[in-house]
């Protein structure tokens, strides 16, 4: 049954032309969807990098403030 259907598709010039004209938009659509997914992934990586840089800038200041607070809490020698 499937073999016969494939034979009809492969031998009919009208069917081959229809498949050719459907394959082009399908190829373009798949290309655009892949492009969109790649852009989303790049955006997530950029956001993660920005967040890491922000944390790396803030963390030393937090540690210094904690050390100062600890020093004041224990009292000066």
CB distance 8 to 15 below 8 Å:
yes
CB distance 19 to 9 below 8 Å:
yes
pLDDT of residue 47: 93
Question: How confident is the model over 27-73, as pLDDT tens digits?
Answer: 999 898 888 888 898 999 999 999 999 988 888 888 888 887 766 66
What pTM was computed for the model? 0.47
Q: Which residues of 11-22 are buried (b: 16+ CB within 10 A; e: fewer)?
A: eeeeeeeeeeee
Torsion angle of the four alpha carbons 3, 9, 10, 12, in this order, in degrees rounded to the nearest 10? 140
H or E segment and range at residue 60: helix 13-74
């Amino acid at each position: 049954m499937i073999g016969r259907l494939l034979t009809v598709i492969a031998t009919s010039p009208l069917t081959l032309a229809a498949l050719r004209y459907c394959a082009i938009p399908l190829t373009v659509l798949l290309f655009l969807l892949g492009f969109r997914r790649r852009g989303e992934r790049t955006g997530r990586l950029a956001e993660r990098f920005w967040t890491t840089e922000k944390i790396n800038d803030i963390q030393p200041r937090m540690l210094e403030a904690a050390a100062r607070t600890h020093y004041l809490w224990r009292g000066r020698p």
